[in-house]
Amino acid sequence: MKIKKNDTVYVVAGKDKKSTGKVLSVDTEANMIKVDGVCVQRKHQKARRAGETSGIVSQVGSINASNVLIVCPACGKNTRVGYVVDGDKKIRVCKKCGASLDVKAEAKKAAKKAAATKTTAKKTSTKKTAEAKTADAPKKTTRKTAAKKAAEDKAE
């Protein structure tokens, strides 16, 4: 299937025609997808326990994957999906502009890795700076210790 979770898609057929949404889930065997805000169904739900209330619940229904086009993140147009083999990986590309459709996922992974290394670097640097501050800072004397020192000096 050419559509993956978290892709932005444009609906070209059905009752929600001309709407756009984010893919919530993909069923490759049945060729069905669930899109946020598309094919919203209402279900009557009965209370199953004493604390629950019964009512009408809205839920997202499945639509066929052939009824949608992927929206390219680079050019913003509805497009078909092409493939380019890059080394060992098969990358999805936009048929109109040639930009990679998998850039978002790769960018998110890179951002998570960068954030993780940044937080570990911060933790180690704060420990080092705290140790340096305690070692370099002059010791503060309170009135009691100053009075004790004065008493010891008089005794000598």
What single-letter amino acid sits at 122? Answer: K
Q: Do 74 and 94 form a contact (C-beta atoms < 8 A)?
A: yes
With a cut of 70, say whether residue 138 has pLDDT above it: no
What average pLDDT does the segment 80-87 reach? 92
Angstrom distance (rounded) from CA 9 to CA 48: 36
Confidence of residue 45 (pLDDT cuts 50, 70, 90): very high
The set of residues, in sequence order, having a beta carbon less than 8 Å from that of 15 and lying 6+ positions away, is: 39
Confidence of residue 29 (pLDDT cuts 50, 70, 90): very high
Angstrom distance (rounded) from CA 19 to CA 42: 19
DSSP state of 65: G
